[in-house]
Amino acid sequence: MQSGDEPAAAVLEADALCLRFGAVEALKSVSLRVAPRQIHAVIGPNGAGKSSLLNCLSGFYRPQSGAVRFCGQDISALVPHKRAALGISRTFQGIQTYPSMTARQNILTGYDARMRTGLFSALLYWGRVRAEEEAFAAKAERIIEFLELEELRHALVGDMAYGMRKRVDLGRALALDPKILIMDEPMAGMSAEEKGDLARYILDIRDGLGIPVVLVEHDMEVVMDISDRITVIDFGQVIACGTPAEIRADERVIAAYLGGGSA
């Protein structure tokens, strides 16, 4: 685990984001900085603005003001697939896998966004396409090993238990060769055992792959166990940011949760 000290450089940074939906102020000047090799959780009661923040980071929502920076570059104007191509990968609530495809095929779909060779040049440079495909197949195999999916490599995802489907979904997100991984409620709907497994993979993603993770999660036990840093949002505002120990002792956080949070 990292210390609670503010690190020098941020991989991903939100700076004073303001997001409105009509009269609803979903985010009121929200800032966040994710350091290298950091698991950074975003928590808060229902409707606090957590998913809105993730959507601003990955480009699905465009805040009215504020900026999003990735490795120092202002990416506020970039659409989601351009952010993905830079290395900002994301998993969503629920399942994003294709049920009629195998685990391996699903993971390979993650590479589609990275294929450098377009259709026209593919016709001209068949060899280059083959080389690219072989490289992706080798990488997919490493992800299969990393996520311990060897025995399910050729199994149809639609036949798998929920936790395994979520694991394949994570594999698809890792196929992007991300420089950061954003996860929206990854533990939702999982059994205690599945949560334990996923928590271990998230820690391995940080420690083994060196990829920082931003996650929104309602399971406080998991959040407190695996996070290096936690940002707490309430009514669209950051009310606290610190280590799990600091957040646990924070009076505003306790009040926000006891005062009506169901998270």
Ligand X SMILES: Nc1ncnc2c1ncn2[C@@H]1O[C@H](COP(=O)(O)OP(=O)(O)OP(=O)(O)O)[C@@H](O)[C@H]1O
Q: For binding to ligand X (CB under 6 A), which residues are involved?
A: 21, 24, 26, 44, 46-52
Q: Residue 156 burial by CB count (10 A; 0-12/13-18/19+): exposed, middle or buried?
A: middle
Is 27 or 103 the residue whose CB approaches ligand X more closely? 27
Q: Which is nearer to ligand X, 42 or 164 (CB)?
A: 42
Instruction: Supply 122's token pair.
Output: 């593919």
Q: Which is nearer to ligand X, 46 or 121 (CB)?
A: 46
- Indicate the residue among 52 and 231 with the shorter CB distance to ligand X: 52
Least distance (Å) between residue 69 CB and ligand X: 21
Buried b (16+ CB within 10 A) or exposed e, 236-257: bebbbbbbbeebeebeebeebb
Kindly state the smallest distance separating residue 139's Cβ from ligand X, in Å: 32
Least Å distance, CB 53 to ligand X, is 7
| Closest of 202, 157, 150, 211 to residue 180, by C-alpha | 211
Nearest distance, CB of residue 258 and ligand X, angstroms: 17
The conformation of residue 156, written as its DSSP 8-state character, comes to B
Contact 99, 164 (CB under 8 A): no
Buried b (16+ CB within 10 A) or exposed e, 83-98: bbebbbbbbbeebbbe
To ligand X, the closest distance from the beta carbon of 101 in angstroms equals: 29
Q: Which is nearer to ligand X, 87 or 261 (CB)?
A: 261
Q: Minimum CB separation from ligand X for residue 62, in Å?
A: 12
Name 206's Cβ contacts closer than 8 Å, sequence gap at least 6: 37, 38, 39, 212, 213
Residue labelled with tokens 């940011």: 241
Q: Of 169 and 185, which has the nearer Cβ to ligand X?
A: 185
